[in-house]
Copies of this chain bind each other. A is one copy, B any other.
Amino acid sequence: MSQELNTIRASFVELAGSATQSFGAGRVIGQIFAHLYLCREVQSLDDLTEALGISKGSASMSVRQLEQWGALKKVWKKGDRKDYYEATEDWGKFMRKAMLDSIAQHMERTEEVLRQTDVLLKQSDPQVCKEELKFVKKRIKRFTQFKERVQWVWDKVMLGMLMK
């Protein structure tokens, strides 16, 4: 086996690992995907465990996550009880899911807070802290505009990446 190929795989595994890590999806997910992406042969759980130096439990859970993301295909070999895996060619599908997973609920949470804020502002006595109230309203309006711009961009980005 070529030394160069192994070095290349190692860099990719590390790179993808730290990418998924920083999206809050865990290092192992990225490592497994990258490894499979650069392996022509389908790989069993044990192969992954050995190649990446991770535990079986970790491999099992991450593989399932990747499968749910559709970044992975399970391959059956007849007469063999092991499951084998191969990566889809589509790196985009993998990264997109990793990012969505971590960002979508931030968006939702933000909307929730803005809704709640609206309710509270309507409840508040307009005679109390008049200036402060005006100030806060102005700032929240400004933030809302910002958030809408972000969301617009985000949707465009996602859309753009979804259609390859």
A119 to chain B, nearest CB (A): 9
- Chain B residues with CB below 8 A from A110, complex form: 15
| Size range of the chain A interface in the assembly | 35 or more
Residue A82 at the chain B interface, CB threshold 8 Å: no
- Chain B residues with CB below 8 A from A160, complex form: 153
Across the interface, name the chain B residue whose C-beta is closest to A118.
B8
A150, B161: Cβ atoms closer than 8 Å: yes
Interface bits A147-164 vs B (CB < 8 Å: 1, else 0): 001100100010011000
Residue A61 at the chain B interface, CB threshold 8 Å: no
Chain A positions 56-109 with a Cβ under 8 Å from a chain B Cβ: 89, 91-92, 95, 102, 106, 109
Q: Ordered nearest first, which 8 A-B pairs have the shortest CB separation?
A: A4-B124, A4-B120, A40-B135, A91-B146, A11-B113, A2-B129, A2-B128, A15-B113
Residue of B4, B38, B113, B153 near A157 (CB, 8 A) is B153
- Chain B residues with CB below 8 A from A135, complex form: 40
19 pairs from A and B in contact (CB 8 Å cutoff): A4-B123, A5-B132, A7-B120, A8-B120, A12-B117, A15-B113, A18-B109, A19-B106, A22-B24, A22-B106, A37-B139, A40-B135, A89-B139, A91-B143, A91-B146, A95-B146, A95-B150, A153-B157, A153-B161
- Chain B residues with CB below 8 A from A89, complex form: 139, 142
A32 to chain B, nearest CB (A): 15
